[in-house]
Chain A
Amino acid sequence: MAEETNKNDDVSRRQFFMKLGLGSLSIAAAGTAAFAYQYLEPNVLYEPSPVVNAGRPDRYPLGSVTIDVNSGIYIIHSDEGYFSLSAVCTHLGCMTAWKPELNMIACPCHGSKFQQTGKKIEGPAPKPLPWKRIWLNDDGDLLVDRSTDVPALARDSFVRV
């Protein structure tokens, strides 16, 4: 083996260690970047539960649109049954409001307008207000899961009492 080494041995060894050093530094830098990214992303959030208890169904008279400002949802009692809409505007996240005199949902920030079913009447909102999963629990309270969208006007998206 020894006689096969050429005269460039010193330089190539130096280059080898240079590459080894730079390589391990790069790996360490990439690892640090990955750890830093993970560190900045919280694993546990102390945010309110996505499931909201909206209380007894009889709180909501037929034909009423009721907003819960704290949880950002509407409970609407229509002829087909109870359903829940997100009250968060799909434009930039402002809280919309039900305007009974206009019979529509309107956003105070940039003027988006929606029907009672969440359908968009007027922009700038790009999408309709999403429907949220709603069901009755064993105590007879309405529960809404804000993290689950359900298809608008679908049979299963209503709760009938």
Chain B
Amino acid sequence: MAKTVDQYFDDLRGTRVWRSVFRSGTGSSTLKRALAIQQNVFLHLFSTKVRNRMLSFSATWYLGTLTLGTFLILVATGIPLMFYYHPSVPQAYADTKDLQFVVSSGLFLRNLHRWSAHAMVFLVFAHMFKVFYRGAYRPPREFNWVIGVVLLLITLLLSYTGYLLPWDQLAYWAITVGSNIASAVPVMGEKIHFLLLGGNAVNANALLRFYVLHCMILPLTALFFVAIHFWRIRKDGGLYSHSSEPAVVRAEAAARNEKGAQ
């Protein structure tokens, strides 16, 4: 009798190589399935069990997950863009043009990066509105809201620093205006302006600084806070769900008791 695909997969999971990578082993018992999550470096952040309704569309709209999705798209498209882009005054604009018109799939990658960036800013705000109107920022999740505000700021800074990189007129004046807003900070405004641009005007130093911020410092910082954000979701009692609000649970229990008494 021919084997089914599942049986082939089970055989694969029984091999020594597979067992050396995934310690939890074969079998679909509750224990094995829990171990599969708990013993995986990426998945161990998550609780080993989650209620179905926590993953239902109505509980979250998946807005946070979609935001992470756009972030991953931005990383995946941003890295190939770095292969053709030189953060220097004579070349930055020409390289952007080349990506649009000369490099194979360059237009696709650049547009995907650009539109995902727009989508990410939109989704971050949508996610925050959802969390706010659902009341999901309340204890015990209040610290995760704070982490979320940090992530909002990082998202906006990523948008802002990426805006300069095409080195066109729009970018130049947007960064001129934006960096002058920074110099309105009391007392140390001029210092911040100088440090941010690496000079007094938007110039070669500013382009390089924004490039490093955009490609290294801000994404790594974002990743760090995203990890904390996700870890906290689990530690703070899972995704917010209206049906698990104490008042709702009490009301449901009372309704059940009333029914039982009749």
Q: Show the binding face of A for B, using Cβ within 8 Å.
A: 40-42, 45-47, 91-94, 109
Contacts and interface: CB of A to CB of B under 8 A. Distances in A.
A109 B203 contact: no
Given A41-B194, A42-B205, A46-B204, A92 B199 contact: no
A94 B201 contact: no
Contacts of A91: 180
Contacts of B199: 42, 45, 47
A94 B173 contact: yes
Contacts of B176: 92-94
Interface string B55-81: 000000000000000000000000000
Contact of B195 (A40, A47, A93): A40
A92 B194 contact: no
Contacts of B204: 46
B203 A47 contact: yes
Nearest to B194: A41
A42 B201 contact: no
B177 A109 contact: yes
Contacts of B198: 40, 42
Contacts of A46: 203-204
Given A40-B198, A45-B200, A92-B180, 6 more contacts: A41-B194, A42-B198, A45-B199, A46-B203, A92-B181, A93-B177
A48 B8 CA distance: 70
Interface of A is mostly: loop
Contacts of A40: 195, 198
Contact of A92 (B177, B195, B200, B201): B177
Nearest to A126: B184
A105 to B, nearest CB: 17
Contacts of A45: 199-200, 205
B190 to A, nearest CB: 12
Nearest to A109: B177
A47 B173 contact: no
A106 to B, nearest CB: 15
Contacts of B200: 45, 47
A54 B149 CA distance: 50
A92 B181 CA distance: 7
Nearest to B201: A47
Contacts of A92: 176-177, 180-181
A25 B150 CA distance: 29
19 contacts: A40-B195, A41-B194, A41-B195, A42-B198, A42-B199, A45-B205, A46-B203, A47-B200, A47-B201, A91-B180, A92-B176, A92-B177, A93-B177, A93-B179, A94-B173, A94-B176, A94-B177, A109-B173, A109-B177
A67 B88 CA distance: 28
Contacts of A93: 176-177, 179-180
A42 B195 CA distance: 8
Contacts of A94: 173, 176-177
Interface in B155-182: 173, 176-177, 179-181
A40 B181 CA distance: 20
